Structure formats: C-alpha cells, structure tokens
Amino acid sequence: MKSYIFLAAALVVHIAGAAAETVPIPFSGIEPVPIPLELAEVDPFAALGGVAIDATEAASIDGGDVFLDLDRARTRLKVTVVDNEYEARLGRIKPKEVYYVDAHNRLVDTIDAPFFVAGSSKDMWDGVQGLTTRPVPFPEGTWNITGVREVELEELKYGPYMIGTDAIGWVEVYSAGSRVTTAYDGGYAIHSNSNDFSSSQSYGCIVVRESDNRRIAASLKADRAQLPIEGKSRQTISVSRRGR
C-alpha cells in the first residue's frame, strides 16, 4: 500500500511541475485532468511495428471460402461454399451454397499400402525404397485442401479428380512384409473409385461417387479462381472424432 501512495504522490508532483505543458483529457461529467504533453504524445505501441492490412486480407486470415466436413460416422460429407465478399467471409452473410454427398472411409486390410512419408518422418525415411504401410482412417482434425488435380490415365480408377490435403497420419511401416517402425504418413485425399461405391475401399482416403467428385472439385476450382493469389482463399476439410 505504501508503494502505491508514494507512486501517486510522485505523479502529482510531476504533473504539477509540468503544468505549463499539458493537454486535457476530457471525461464525461468529470473535470478534465491535465497530463504532461511529452507523455500525451507517446505512442505506447510504436515499438511493435507491423504493417496495416486491408479488409480483404483480414477476411482471408479470419476464415476460408470452402469448408468440407466429414461426419462422425464417416458416411456423409458436407460442403459449405462461402462467397469471397468481405461480409460473407466474416459470417455476416449466409453461405451461397451448402450441399451433402455420400462418402466412406473403408480401409483395405493390407500391409502393402503406399508410404507417403510426411512430417518429422521425412528426415529418416524420405527416399527409402520398398517401404509400405498398414492403412489407417483419414486423420481426425482440420486440414487444408492443397490442390485439385485431374488424374492421369493410369489413375482413372481414382478419378476424375484427386483432391489433395495436408493431413498426416501415424502408421505402421513395413519392409518386405516385416514391421520396422511407426511413422508419419501423408497422401490423404478425397477421390472416387471405379469399384461400386457400396463395396469400394481405400488406403485411408475419403471416397465419394464420381459425380460428387466432379461437383466438389468444381466448387473448389471456382473458389480459387476468384482469389487466385496464394493464401487469399483457404479451403479446409474437418474430420470429427468418431464415436463422440
């Protein structure tokens, strides 16, 4: 308490001594209180630096333009398309389109799935040949859509578009049929399958029907065309924790 009293007294003395160089700070219903001019001119945030951003940049940081959400049962994918207009991206205007498509995440029972080394695993396993994995479900969480690629002729069973993500899973890694370690794995995408939808499987990717694959790809491509500058148009997929 004594230290607070001393500080207050010192401030009063300082203000009184600088009365000739003061500026008023008005308060509603209270007599203006003078403070030293040299204190009034100090910008307390001047040392922080930084660059001011415009409304469009603020909106791009705040959220995305196309949201994909896989339900807990992993049987339905919700696609929400938000207009790139500033107010819409802040959530003040309803999405311009919301639709649902059937999906599944049924896994192939194998230890021979491709290994797309990712994350910290790259330091040890990137470039190592002959490694395979046991598939795991599409990783839970929210991930970025990294691209929409029309598949090559030899990949048509996964087409017509491969919708890439930056999702990373934790998998068992095998070499010549023997388990050697566990590591981070990538390559998780959204695609269709030439096998019947009711019985098709994947190595962890989300599978949709071919017609729905085209529709989702079109939504993503149209959105990116509106804001082609890298970082201006965010597109994500969120996968809920199953059973909760």
pLDDT 10s digits, 36-55 = 555 445 544 445 444 444 44
**Type of residue found at 101:** V
User: Which domains, from first to last, does the chain contain?
Assistant: 2-48 (no CATH), 65-239 (2.40.440)
Q: 71: exposed, middle or buried (C-beta count within 10 Å: 0-12, 13-18, 19+)? A: middle
DSSP 138: P
Q: What is the mean pLDDT of residues 67-76?
A: 96
pLDDT for the residue 157: 81
* Other C-beta atoms lying within 10 Å of the C-beta of residue 154: 7
Average pLDDT value for the chain: 79
pTM comes to 0.70
Out of 3-12, 87-96, 107-116, 160-169, least confident range? 3-12
> Which ranges in 55-192 belong to alpha helices (H)?
55-62, 86-89, 122-125
CB atoms within 10 A of CB 28: 4
CA distances from 93 to 58, 90, 156, 224 (A): 16, 8, 39, 20
